[in-house]
């Protein structure tokens, strides 16, 4: 339970962050840091046992049999030496960053979002490094990406571009990781991380092992900012300094390093892994160090230094020997200490001097002596100056490179590249010190030392580089334990002095060359600053890729960029016809489909009663072809749907037939709402060639559809799965309606996905309607309404008094009987939706059926109810598991709760459609009601107003009064249509009885 306590403490920090900020504002960092230190203490108590080889574990089955029988997804945590090492980094560095934030952040300026996201960030990292199930590992990986994106984006417009690039690149890595763990889990037969790592499948299939190694490496490269994904990390500098300190030292970038170390169990001796990591890592290290030397912004300089040091670590992991992995672990710790310290100290400089650009700074060393001394130690450790921890870790990596599996020539090249990178590292480390405190041109006489509460937390991690290096031998056992948890045996002896060897000679040469460079800095550094090393940057490359993708998408979209349905349907229908024709030709040539002769059709499928729905459908389709009236076409679409419903009934599927019939009724109502805004007639098609072409395509499509149905259905027995459902489902679910039990029990997760899509449809309808400007009515689409529509609606209003209660009761009955007989939540909601449609039609004027918020509430409550039923199933072992029982002698199941969620969500979507389309005016919002509209007060121009052209019709035409001129009503109607903007004017006596002309068009 130790691991769950740590996770619970981190989760508690997320929950307590908002109230803590409300009470303490920026000082909330102190209690939140205390929670992280408590978590570190809980782990620290277990460290002796962990270092002796004991493993902390926590496992609960999450989703049983998710991939195959016996392959459960578990909420599994594992605290071995490697996972606990990274967890301690996140907790300790995180606590220091939170204490620093309590003094650094501005007062009462968005601190709630900062602390909530930072605590969630820490929780995600802990889940990632402690996960023992690849599904949990992948989810935590994506949560880290989302948290980093939001933390960068919260910095405002300056962080928008950087946050998007971060999201795109890290999500590319997420896709690579998803493919890799999917292959690994299915090949190993388990989602357990240790089960995958210990599987024999990797030795048995070297080709697959190589491909998975590449995918894992690519995923790690995106998080660890390795070439070609390196450029997102400097872009993340738009985030607040505490975010940068945590992100660079113990969070996102270390997630990539952790992944490489964890999977080194499998890939440490795989050639493609070794070469890929060494080449990419060292190339990134040298390249990024060169970029760092160029920078004058201290924060960007330090960001590129992070990319460089991560390249060193990646290349060292690529060597794959136990000693190399140990060296990578040591430098990971050293880098976390000095890099978090340097970022926070740069924040201190910016906070006190008002800038972090060395061109806008001056002599600060005597004004901020404590900060200066702390920066010197941190930068010296980064530059690998003895006797600091950075020197020990760099010596270890250089020693590891001597055993790299790249041949003798490759080792020489690697060591030369490392020496060049080390010289550049020394140079940019010196640039931080001299640029920030000594060489700047600005007068800094008004600057003073920062408060102790600000500089001391920032200095502490870097200052630890000195004492830890002096007692480095104490860490032999912990480092060996970490390497052992990876699956290799190491016997590492850490020390400041290992005698005169190649790494020491390289270090001495680097120090000499570096000092010479510092002495000549005023001649060398200005030459490098601003110089372009490559013809394009990573940002430009990503921008070009995105623009090319947009152009490609626009090109594909242009094929359907038209309101004409034929433009959308024609390519698809022609493709189906082509496929059908090819199948027919192939069948004739081979004597059967794919060379297999057709089986005889099952007996009893052909029925003379089937001719009745066929006749209904045929006449409906012929009518649709002939009519030019939109209203008639809507009615004929409904009759065709009714014919299909009758066919379903004759085939013995009453539940499908009932669903089809109610869908058709509601579809016709929605179509009628849309037709109110359309001209009365379809435009005339004058091209005879187009008519003939459409006829040929329609007939060919009909023939292909007939042949497909005739040849591919009714020629085999039921499948084994279908028979299993029919035989076993009633006993398992105590329900006779097999279709319903499949939907709400066996395949409930699929139904939940469809339900979420339905809910999103309701949200999208509301969003589109509320975010688009209302357009004027086109000429001929707003006929004058009948003046006595309230009187005309009386018969319908009287009818619904009887019909709606019947439909409501019927809806409840159909809902309750769905488990045993045809029915269920979906069709019951459609019946209630029909009642809503009748209620709408009975109104004397066009108006919404519910308040605007009601459909959203119905949809939201419906989805939450369905999810609640899923969580109830966890009491029996899995999400959405149906629990059965008896209440008052009646069989009940929790799937009924799930069905209730379906009912409410469908009802919400239907009411949203009626509300959105059924108002008196066209859908949309007035310009002054649009959330995104600009009034012109700011720097951007005002949002253009929707202006009616000369072909528009008045939105509120005067109603026709049949009583004043009973003979000429029809003529008056036509005159109203012919005179846009005027309408037929009623007599004065009637005019006083109207309500501003806001009557119905019904």
* More confident of the two residues 251 and 497: 497
Q: Give the pLDDT score at 608.
A: 87
Q: Which residues pair with 442 in a beta bridge?
A: 362
Q: Give the pLDDT score at 973.
A: 42
Contacts 24+ apart (CB under 8 A), 879-888: 879/62, 879/63, 879/749, 880/748, 880/749, 880/752, 882/733, 882/744, 882/745, 882/748, 884/733, 884/734
Phi-psi region of 981 (alpha: psi -120 to 50; beta: other; left: phi over 0): left
Exposed (0-12), middle (13-18) or buried (19+): which is 410, by Cβ within 10 Å?
Answer: middle
- Mark which of 480, 507, 529 sits at the end of a domain: 529
Residue 971 lies in a domain: no
**Residue 990 in this model has a pLDDT that exceeds 60:** no
Q: Give the pLDDT score at 992.
A: 34
pLDDT confidence bin for 47, thresholds 50/70/90? very high
- Mark which of 503, 529, 555 sits at the end of a domain: 529
User: In this structure, what DSSP letter does residue 876 have?
Assistant: G
Q: Give the pLDDT score at 940.
A: 63
Q: Give the pLDDT score at 960.
A: 67
**Residue 983 in this model has a pLDDT that exceeds 60:** no
Report how far residue 239's alpha carbon sits from residue 534's, in angstroms, rounded to the nearest whole number: 27
**Residue 205 in this model has a pLDDT that exceeds 70:** yes
**Percent of the chain at pLDDT above 70?**
91
Q: How many structural domains are present in the chain? A: 2
Helix or strand (DSSP H, E) at 226? none
Helix or strand (DSSP H, E) at 852? none
**Residue 987 in this model has a pLDDT that exceeds 50:** no
pLDDT confidence bin for 279, thresholds 50/70/90? very high
pLDDT confidence bin for 376, thresholds 50/70/90? very high
Helix or strand (DSSP H, E) at 893? strand 890-893
Segment 58-87, tens digit of pLDDT: 998 887 777 677 788 889 999 999 999 999
- Do residues 196 and 134 make contact, with C-beta atoms less than 8 angstroms apart? yes
Mean predicted lDDT score pLDDT of the chain: 85
Helix or strand (DSSP H, E) at 533? none
Residue 211 lies in a domain: no
Q: Give the pLDDT score at 972.
A: 44
Worst-scoring range by mean pLDDT, 17-26, 177-186, 240-249, 579-588? 240-249
Q: Which residues contact 112 (CB under 8 A, 6 or more apart)?
A: 17, 18, 21, 22
- Do residues 233 and 339 make contact, with C-beta atoms less than 8 angstroms apart? no
- Do residues 17 and 28 make contact, with C-beta atoms less than 8 angstroms apart? yes
Report how far residue 156's alpha carbon sits from residue 386's, in angstroms, rounded to the nearest whole number: 41
Q: Which two tokens stand for residue 801?
A: 């008094």
Segment 631-655, tens digit of pLDDT: 899 999 999 999 999 998 888 888 8
Segment 554-593, tens digit of pLDDT: 888 777 777 777 778 888 899 999 999 998 888 888 777 7
Q: Give the pLDDT score at 842.
A: 84
- For residue 361, the enclosing domain spans 269-529
Q: What is the mean pLDDT of residues 821-850?
A: 84
- Mark which of 472, 507, 529 sits at the end of a domain: 529
Q: Give the pLDDT score at 227.
A: 85
Q: Which residues contact 471 (CB under 8 A, 6 or more apart)?
A: none
Report how far residue 165's alpha carbon sits from residue 145's, in angstroms, rounded to the nearest whole number: 11
Residue 596 lies in a domain: no
CA torsion 833-834-839-843 (nearest 10°) is: 110
- Do residues 642 and 612 make contact, with C-beta atoms less than 8 angstroms apart? no
**Residue 625 in this model has a pLDDT that exceeds 60:** yes
Q: Give the pLDDT score at 439.
A: 85
* More confident of the two residues 956 and 403: 403
Q: What is the mean pLDDT of residues 247-270?
A: 86
Residue 333: CA count within 13 A, CB half-sphere: 27
pLDDT confidence bin for 101, thresholds 50/70/90? very high
Residue 776 lies in a domain: yes
Worst-scoring range by mean pLDDT, 84-98, 238-252, 304-318, 972-986? 972-986
Residue 613 lies in a domain: no
- Do residues 237 and 300 make contact, with C-beta atoms less than 8 angstroms apart? yes
Q: Give the pLDDT score at 359.
A: 86
Distance, first Cα to last Cα, the chain: 68
pTM value is 0.73
Segment 900-913, tens digit of pLDDT: 999 999 898 888 88
Q: Among all chains, which residue has been given the structure tokens 């057709």?
A: 598
Segment 225-255, tens digit of pLDDT: 898 888 877 877 777 888 888 876 666 678 8
Other beta carbons within 10 angstroms of residue 658's beta carbon come to 21
Segment 867-897, tens digit of pLDDT: 998 888 888 867 888 888 888 777 788 888 9
Residue 838 Cα distances to 479, 804, 813, 831, angstroms: 75, 8, 20, 11
Q: Which two tokens stand for residue 565?
A: 């349905």
Residue 819 lies in a domain: yes
Segment 131-165, tens digit of pLDDT: 999 999 999 999 999 988 888 888 766 667 778 88
Residue 690 lies in a domain: no
Q: Which residues contact 184 (CB under 8 A, 6 or more apart)?
A: 134, 196, 212
Q: What is the mean pLDDT of residues 429-446?
A: 87
Q: Give the pLDDT score at 996.
A: 40
Worst-scoring range by mean pLDDT, 372-386, 610-624, 916-930? 916-930
Q: Give the pLDDT score at 658.
A: 84
pLDDT confidence bin for 348, thresholds 50/70/90? very high
Residue 611 lies in a domain: no
Report how far residue 95's alpha carbon sits from residue 233's, in angstroms, rounded to the nearest whole number: 22
**Residue 115 in this model has a pLDDT that exceeds 50:** yes
**Residue 979 in this model has a pLDDT that exceeds 50:** no
């Amino acid at each position: 339970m130790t691991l769950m306590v740590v996770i619970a403490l981190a989760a508690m920090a997320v929950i307590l962050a908002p109230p803590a900020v409300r009470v303490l504002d920026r000082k909330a960092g102190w209690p939140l840091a205390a929670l992280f230190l408590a978590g570190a203490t809980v782990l620290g108590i277990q460290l002796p046992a962990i270092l002796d080889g004991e493993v902390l574990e926590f496992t609960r089955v999450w989703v049983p049999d998710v991939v195959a029988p016996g392959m459960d997804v578990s909420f599994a945590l594992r605290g071995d030496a490697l996972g606990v090492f990274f967890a301690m980094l996140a907790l300790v560095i995180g606590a220091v960053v939170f204490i620093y934030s309590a003094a650094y952040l501005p007062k009462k300026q968005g601190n709630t979002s900062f602390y909530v996201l930072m605590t969630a960030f820490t929780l995600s990292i802990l889940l990632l490094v402690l996960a023992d199930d690849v599904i949990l590992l992948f989810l935590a990986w994506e949560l880290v990406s989302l948290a980093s994106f939001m933390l960068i984006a919260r910095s405002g417009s300056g962080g928008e571009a950087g946050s998007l690039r971060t999201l795109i690149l890290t999500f590319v890595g997420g896709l690579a990781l998803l493919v890799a763990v999917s292959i690994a889990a299915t090949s190993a037969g388990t989602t357990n991380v240790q089960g995958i790592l210990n599987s024999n499948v990797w030795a048995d299939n070297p080709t697959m092992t190589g491909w998975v190694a590449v995918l894992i490496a690519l995923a790690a490269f995106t998080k660890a900012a390795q070439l070609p994904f390196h450029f997102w990390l400097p872009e993340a500098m738009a985030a607040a300094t505490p975010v940068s300190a945590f992100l660079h030292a113990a969070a996102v970038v270390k997630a990539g390093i952790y992944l490489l170390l964890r999977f080194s169990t499998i890939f440490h001796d795989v050639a493609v892994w070794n070469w890929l990591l060494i080449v990419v890592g060292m190339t990134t290290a040298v390249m990024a160090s060169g970029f760092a030397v160029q920078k004058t912004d201290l924060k960007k300089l330090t960001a590129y230094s992070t990319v460089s040091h991560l390249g060193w670590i990646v290349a060292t992991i690529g060597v794959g020997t136990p000693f190399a992995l140990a060296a990578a672990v040591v430098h990971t710790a050293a880098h976390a200490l000095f890099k978090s310290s340097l970022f926070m100290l740069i924040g201190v400089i910016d906070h006190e001097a008002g800038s972090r650009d060395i061109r806008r700074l001056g002599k600060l060393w005597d004004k901020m002596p404590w900060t200066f001394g702390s920066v010197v130690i941190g930068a010296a450790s980064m530059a690998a100056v003895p006797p600091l921890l950075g020197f020990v870790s760099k010596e270890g990596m250089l020693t590891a490179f001597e055993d790299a599996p790249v041949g003798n020539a490759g080792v020489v090249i690697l060591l030369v590249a490392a020496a060049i990178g080390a010289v550049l590292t020394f140079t940019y480390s010196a640039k931080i010190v001299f640029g920030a405190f000594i060489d700047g041109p600005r007068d800094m006489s008004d600057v003073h030392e920062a408060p102790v509460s600000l500089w001391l937390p920032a200095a502490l991690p870097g200052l630890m580089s000195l004492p830890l290096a002096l007692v480095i031998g104490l860490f032999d056992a912990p480092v060996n334990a970490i390497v052992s948890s990876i699956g290799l045996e190491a016997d590492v002896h850490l020390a400041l002095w290992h005698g005169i060897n190649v790494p020491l000679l390289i270090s001495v040469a680097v120090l000499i060359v570096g000092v010479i460079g510092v002495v000549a800095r005023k001649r060398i550094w200005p030459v490098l600053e601003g110089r372009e090393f490559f013809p394009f940057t990573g940002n430009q490359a990503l921008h070009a890729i995105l623009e090319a993708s947009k152009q490609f998408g626009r090109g594909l979209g242009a094929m359907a960029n038209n309101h004409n349905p034929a433009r959308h349907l024609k390519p698809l229908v022609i493709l189906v016809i082509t496929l059908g024709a090819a199948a027919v030709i192939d069948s004739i040539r081979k004597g059967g489909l794919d060379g297999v002769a057709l089986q005889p059709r099952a007996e009893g499928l052909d029925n003379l009663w089937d001719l009745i729905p066929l006749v209904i459908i045929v006449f409906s389709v012929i009518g649709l072809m002939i009519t030019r009236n939109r209203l008639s076409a809507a009615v004929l679409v409904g009759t065709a749907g009714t014919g299909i419903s009758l066919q379903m009934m004759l085939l013995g599927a009453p539940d499908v037939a009932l669903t089809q019939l109610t869908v058709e009724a509601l579809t016709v109502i929605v179509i009628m709402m849309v037709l109110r805004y359309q001209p009365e007639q379809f435009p005339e098609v004058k091209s005879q060639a187009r008519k003939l072409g459409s006829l040929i395509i329609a007939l060919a499509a009909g023939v292909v559809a007939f042949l497909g149905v005739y040849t591919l259905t009714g020629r085999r027995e039921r499948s084994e799965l279908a028979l299993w459902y029919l035989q076993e489902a009633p006993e398992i679910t105590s329900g006779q309606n097999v279709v319903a039990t499949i939907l709400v029990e066996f395949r409930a997760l699929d139904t939940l996905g469809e339900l979420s899509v339905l809910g999103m449809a309701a949200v999208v309808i509301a969003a589109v309607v509320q975010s688009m400007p209302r357009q004027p009515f086109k000429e001929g689409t707003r006929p004058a309404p009948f003046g006595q529509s309230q009187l005309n609606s009386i018969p319908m209003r009287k009818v619904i008094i009887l019909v709606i209660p019947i439909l409501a009761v019927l809806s409840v009955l159909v809902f309750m009987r769905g488990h045993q007989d045809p029915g269920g939540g979906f069709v019951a909601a459609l019946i209630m939706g029909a009642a809503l449609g009748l209620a709408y039609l009975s109104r004397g004027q066009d108006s919404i059926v519910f308040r605007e918020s009601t459909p959203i509430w119905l949809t939201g409550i419906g989805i939450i109810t369905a999810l609640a039923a899923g969580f109830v199933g966890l009491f029996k072992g899995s999400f959405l598991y149906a629990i059965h029982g008896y209440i008052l002698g009646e069989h009940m199941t929790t799937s009924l709760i799930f069905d209730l969620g379906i009912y409410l969500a469908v009802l919400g979507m239907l009411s949203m459609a009626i509300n959105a389309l059924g108002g008196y005016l066209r859908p949309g919002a007035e310009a002054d009601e649009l959330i995104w509209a600009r009034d012109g007060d700011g720097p951007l121009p005002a949002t253009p107003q929707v202006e009616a052209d000369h072909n528009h019709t008045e939105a509120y035409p005067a109603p026709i009064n049949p009583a004043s001129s009973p003979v000429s009503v029809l003529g008056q109607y036509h005159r109203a249509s012919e005179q846009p903007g005027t309408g037929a004017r009623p007599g004065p006596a009637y005019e006083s009885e109207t309500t501003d002309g806001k009557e119905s068009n019904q």
